[in-house]
Amino acid sequence: MLPDVDDDAIFKALADPTRRHLLDRLFERDGRTLTELESELEMTRFGVMKHLRVLEDAGLVATRRQGREKLHYLNPVPIRLIHDRWIDKYTEHRVAALADLKNELEETA
Amino acid sequence: MSTMTAQATQVYEVYIKATPQQIWDAITKPEFTEKYFYGSRITVSEDEYLSLDGKGDTLVRGKVLEIDAPHRLVTGWRALYDPETATEEDSRVTWEIEPQDGGYSKLRVVHDQLEGAPKTALSVAGGWSYVLSGLKTLLETGKPLAG
């Protein structure tokens, strides 16, 4: 399966608090090894590996080899694609209306 | 309040239903880049990667370090669109395009060597996702992202 071709894989990967926590850790600082990530989580190495694998399959985590180490990076592009595909479509008008209201209120204040 | 910082190595990946050559053209030809890359007109010669705005002012400039069309492009990156980033050290951008099954290609962009360019790092951190999402939309639908 191709990673972010499949929206389901992204939503499923995000539908788990541990995996969201892993993404937050990578957002703070990425390019980390499994061992580094494991040391910050109350979880077995196998558990962290399993969750990272789901994130990788969904395209949310990208990896690079550096010597013998495998470094994990947060790949934000699939989340952006969901934003552009889903969020923009439904929020555009409402957000625009709120922005107009805010401007109007601030001008008259 | 803490100061915002961004990573000195940033990795972005996206799968696009297009051939490596189509993706290569979309990242190296101005008639494509102006449709998804903040309206910028980008050209790549043997020795220079150059991004200009509509008025012809330079937005980004970098030396071409490696070029292997349509699979790999490595360039320097100096962001001249902001006086604060313009004085920072050059960083580096690597584009890698790999064909996949089903008519897809995988595009990976690595922006690294940003240690001497923290303001550039922050500036591009949100930008790359937007640009690559727009590139995918353009190649797959023929249309730029709305809005």
Residue in B104, B110, B129 closest to A76 by CB: B129
For B18-68, the pLDDT digits (tens) are: 999 999 999 999 999 999 999 999 999 999 999 999 999 999 999 999 999
For A53-74, the pLDDT digits (tens) are: 999 999 999 999 989 999 999 9
Residue in B11, B100, B129 closest to A80 by CB: B129
For B4-24, the pLDDT digits (tens) are: 678 899 999 999 999 999 999
SS3 A51: helix
Closest CA to B12 of A4, A3, A76, A1: A76
ipTM confidence: 0.86
Q: What is the pTM of this model?
A: 0.86
* Other CB atoms within 10 Å distance of the CB of residue A89: 11
Put simply, the answer to whether A2 touches B10 (Cβ < 8 Å) is no
And the tokens for B57? 């002012």
Please enumerate residues of B whose Cβ is less than 8 A from a Cβ of A: 7, 9-15, 100-102, 104, 108, 110, 128-130, 132-133, 136-137, 145-147
